[in-house]
Amino acid sequence: MAASRVILITGASAGIGRACAIGLSKAFPSPEHPEPLVLALVGRREDELKATAAACREGTTVEVLTADVSSETDVRRVFDVIKQKHGRLDLLFNNAGVNLLKGTALEDSDMDKFRKTLDINVMGAVLCTAAAVRLMKEQSPQGGRIVNNGSISASSPRPDSTSYTVSKHAILGLTRSTSLDGRKYHIAATQLDIGNALTDMAKGSGAGQGTPQADGSLKVEPLFDVNEVARTLAYLAALPRNVEVLHLEILALGMPYVGRG
């Protein structure tokens, strides 16, 4: 039997993480990629992680690993489980993230919430990337792929979103540094920037009712099916080991992002 394809997803309890877990379970194994799939689902809400696991394709091996990615102790425990049980990691999707100060000007921001945003969005990805690189360096064959959910806020911020925007600009630096430093270990890195995927979070933020624009107006913006993000991640997961996609954007057609909207 072929060695398993092991994929770890953070923030897998809902939204993009859940959709990607389910989508990957349907995409692998396949005739082109017959190796069995192991999905490691990481998040803080065990009941929701179990709901994600239950929605995955029958026959997929799923590890439910409750953890706070901003905790070095929790991250170390998660990767110890992966190493001990499966001996390798082929893809890490750093997806966990929060936006605790949406619509709040910098000067009015609660700095405890600002720091928590950075702890989860930035340090969570940093800790998981460091642990993944350690494992990918040791395993045979050496190497793997790390995909970071960067958001289009990594290049084009929304009004009054400083904490989230700062965190996503940091992820861009992490992606590029991982790509550079990972070369000698056959580790590829991708920044996956997502704009206006339809998730529960998007619904809760008022999608369909109008989103604040730079000129102070409200605009109803187009949305796209979150399952297309899962298809994109499956594409990245299926790439040959000698191919790297450094930066990829997926967004709703007509989203006010390029040009003047």
Q: Is residue 132 part of a domain?
A: yes
CATH number for 89: 3.40.50.720
Is there a domain that residue 260 lies in? no
The answer to whether the beta carbons of residues 21 and 233 sit under 8 Å apart is: no
Looking up tokens 């619904």 gives: 203
Residue type, 108: D
205 lies in some domain: yes
- pLDDT averaged over the chain? 94
Range of the domain at 57: 5-251
Q: What percent of the chain has pLDDT over 90?
A: 85
In a domain, 258, yes or no: no
- pLDDT of 202 reads 61
How many domains does the chain fold into?
Answer: 1
pLDDT at 208: 61
Q: What pLDDT, on the 0 to 100 scale, is given for residue 261?
A: 54
- Residue 14 inside a domain? The answer is yes
Answer yes or no: is 261 within a domain.
Answer: no
Q: What is the pTM of this model?
A: 0.94
CA distances for 35 relative to 3, 87, 128, 180, 205, angstroms: 6, 15, 24, 29, 39
Higher pLDDT residue, 206 or 55? 55
The pLDDT tens digits for 77-105 are 999 999 999 999 999 999 999 999 999 99
Tell me phi and psi for residue 195, to 5 degrees. Answer: -125, 115
Tens-place pLDDT, residues 37-83: 999 999 999 999 999 999 999 999 999 999 999 999 999 999 999 99
